[in-house]
Amino acid sequence: IGKKYLYFEEIDSTNIQAKRENYEDGAVIFAESQTAGKGRKNRKWISHKGLGLYFTIVLKPEIEVNYLSHFSLLFNYSVFKVLRNYVNGKIKIKWPNDIYLNGKKIAGFLIESSIENNSISKLIVGVGINVNQSIKDFEEDIKEVATSLKIEEGKTFSRKEIFLDILQQIEKDYLKFIKENYLDIKKIEENLLWLNQDVMILEDGKPILSGKLIGLNEDGSLMLRTDEDLRFVYVGDLSIRNK
């Protein structure tokens, strides 16, 4: 990973750039700022020039499409493990594609895929991490949900050091997963945001299910205990909130 490395001062979005060209397996696209950073479902990812980490990794795993749901947890957990070493605050994995620090969003992932003949031919792994933003950098509408390493930890971080650690960790975890098709779901579960709390699942902003978050299933789905029974929630375009 990173043998082919592209650096942009400014770009619309690193995921869009990854899709514009046919980059080789392991290519990394990094931008100091994005003018149209993307979240899921065309939501925006706000990118502050020079303050965060915004990059996309192109991977060509050529493995069965059934494993697709594991990838967002795999990359999420790799980044989580790195950030955990840099912070004293309470860091958690928010299923399926965010990382929270002290109850606010510090990192998000946007994973896009191409499937051919039942096999994953390409993964576009977009990562956005808030590193050195101050409170004033966040606009009113996301102040309540977003934070940065600097805000929570009270110091400035080396983006380069964190970035290199993350690439290394992702490479290690990805290669292991490709080889053994194994992901330590239990370890991810231990670090889940709102574990053992009452949550609700939203689809297009509307609640569709409430229950107690009791854990993660082997296939990466969430397990919720509702008043009636045990329910599994699969990655779609769903969001989780606590009540």
- The reply to whether 156 sits in an annotated binding site is no
| Binding string, residues 203-242; x marks residues near ligand ATP by CB under 6 A | ------------------------------------x---
Residue 202 near residue 36 (C-beta atoms within 8 A): no
| Binding string, residues 1-40; x marks residues near ligand ATP by CB under 6 A | --------------------------------------xx
Beta bridge partners of 121: none
| Binding string, residues 125-144; x marks residues near ligand ATP by CB under 6 A | ---x-x-----------x--
Q: Which residues are CB-neighbours of 160 under 8 A, at least 6 positions away?
A: none
Coarse DSSP helix, strand, coil percentages of the chain, rounded to the nearest 5 percent: 30, 35, 35
Q: Residues 30, 35, 37, 41: is their CA dihedral positive or negative?
A: negative
User: Does residue 166 come out as left (phi exceeding 0), alpha (psi in the -120 to 50 range) or beta?
Assistant: alpha
Q: How far is the CB of 25 from ligand ATP (least distance, A)?
A: 25
**Residue 174 makes contact with ligand ATP by CB under 6 A:** no
Binding-site ranges for ligand ATP (CB under 6 A) = 39-40, 43-46, 97-98, 105, 108, 128, 130, 142, 145-146, 239
